[in-house]
Amino acid sequence: MATSKVLAGRIAVITGGGSGIGRATSQLFAKHGASVAVVDRTQGGADETIASLPSHTDEQIHKSFVADVGDGDAVRGLVAGVMDTYKKPATILVNSAGITRDQLMLKMSEEDFDEVIKVNLKGTFLMCQAVSQAMVKSKVTGGSFINISSIIATMGNIGQANYSASKAGILGMTMTMAKELSRFDIRCNSVLPGFISTPMTDRVPEKVIKMMLSLIPLGTLGQPEDIAETCLFLASPASKYITGASIDVNGGMMG
Ligand code: NAD
């Protein structure tokens, strides 16, 4: 069956696009007709993702961009670069860039707390702000911003005070942005993945994975494609009446 080109003519910026969930989302969005701007903090991963996408056509141009999403100047430079490339602003944004710096809160360093908040929470803010500013300035409407939070936002996790704070912050911030940006026809939603098999979770010890599996009613770890499919729904007109929402994608795991 032919794939529906539900994102044809759209430009999607995907942060953290060089790995895991961001890469799977880039691949799915390209398959459905979007031009994809793959953003990562290093060139290698972003280029590998680009190489995995269907080849460019006149309608679809895919390009890698290197930027640290926690750095305001870098983010504004990136969004200007996207404008330069496509001659119009992106209307789809997936904020998947994220890091962990796990430690018990009794021992967590201030640096590790700040770094996780900077990349995960401030990075999401800066990207949403720069992309919405570009849309408003160009009077382009019909946006969809998708912010990747985590199940840890709502249930906490030992060793992740910094990460859970950053991901819970994304939920509140996304609801506020949904209210502020709806008058510009920009929707903002969060996705809360459970335990997804990606390079981020590859280093989790086998015995912890076994324990996690016992908590997942559907009985398997999630795959990056499971999150990508939810992002596709949120990016497409099928979700046109959904904003300020958060969607759990966790195999039924409830804490
Ligand atoms: P991943 O490590 O495979 O990918 C994250 C990507 O973000 C990497 O390519 C990395 O280089 C990039 N990145 C990190 N810091 C950056 C920065 N400052 N600027 C630009 N890019 C940066 O991880 P993943 O599992 O694909 O995670 C994607 C998102 O999903 C993250 O926000 C993560 O917190 C969230 N998440 C993942 C899981 C899971 O189980 N894998 C669960 C819940 C939420």
Using alpha carbons, select from 34, 36, 37, 38 the residue that is nearest to residue 18.
38
Q: How far apart are CA 117 and CA 98, in angstroms?
A: 10
Lowest mean per-residue pLDDT among 48-57, 100-109, 186-195 = 48-57
CB 169 less than 6 A from any atom of ligand 1? no
CB 78 within 8 Å of CB 72: no
Q: What is this structure's pTM?
A: 0.98
136-154 pLDDT tens trace: 999 999 999 999 999 999 9
Ligand 1, pocket-test mutation among 112, 125, 200, most atoms within 8 A of CB: 200
CB 193 less than 6 A from any atom of ligand 1? yes
What is the rounded average pLDDT for all residues in the chain? 96
198-220 pLDDT tens trace: 999 988 999 999 999 999 999 99
Give the distance between the most distant pair of CA atoms in the chain: 55
Phi, psi of 143 (to 5 degrees): -100, 155
Band of pLDDT at residue 233, cut at 50, 70 and 90: very high
Angle formed at CA 126 by CA 121 and CA 132, multiple of 5 degrees = 125
Q: Where are the domains positioned within the chain? A: 11-249
Q: How far apart are CA 68 and CA 40, in angstroms?
A: 7
- Structure tokens of 49? 């993702």
What class has domain 11-249?
Answer: alpha beta
CB 16 less than 6 A from any atom of ligand 1? yes
Alpha helices in the chain (DSSP H): 20-31, 43-52, 72-86, 110-116, 123-137, 152-155, 161-181, 199-202, 206-214, 224-235
Active-site residue set: 163
